[in-house]
Structure 1
Amino acid sequence: MNRKRRYYWLCWLMAFFPVPYLGAQGTDYHSVAVDSLVNPPLLKEGGRIFIFDFLHMHIGSMYDTDAPLTCTFPFRNVSGRNVRITKITTSCGCTAAAFSPEALAPGMESAVTLAYNPKNRIGTVETYAFVYTELSDRHPVARLVLTGEVVCSDEWSYLPSVMGVLRMKRKQVTFSEMTSGIRPAERILCANTGKKPLKLSALMLPPYAAFHTEPAVIQPGKEADMVITVDGGKLPDTPDDRWQFNFMIEGIDAPITDRMVKVTVKRLQ
Structure 2
Amino acid sequence: MIKRTILTLLFAVFFIAGVYAQKAAKISFKETVHNFGSFSEKLGSVSCTFTFVNTGNIPLIITRATASCGCTKPEYPVNPVAPGDSGQIKVTYNAVGRPGGFEKNIFVYANTDPERVSLIIKGTVIPVQRSVTPAYGHTMGNLGLKAVHVPFFEVYTGKPKTESIDVINSGKIPLAVDFNKVPRHLSVEMVPATLAPGEKGKIEITYYADKAKDWGIRKDEFWVKLPFSDKPQPQNKITVSADIQEDYSGITAGQLAKAPHLECGAELIDFGTIKGNAPVSISVPLSNTGVSNLQIRKINNDSQVVSVSLPQMSIQSGKSIDLKVTVKPSKSRSRLLNHRIFIITNDPVRPTISLPVVATFE
> Normalising TM by the smaller chain, what interval?
0.3 to 0.5
Greater RCO structure (CA 8 Å; 6+ sep) = 1
Structure holding more helix per residue: 1
Greater Rg over alpha carbons, structure: 1
Q: TM-score under structure 2 normalisation?
A: 0.30
Q: TM-score under structure 1 normalisation?
A: 0.39
Structure holding more strand per residue: 2
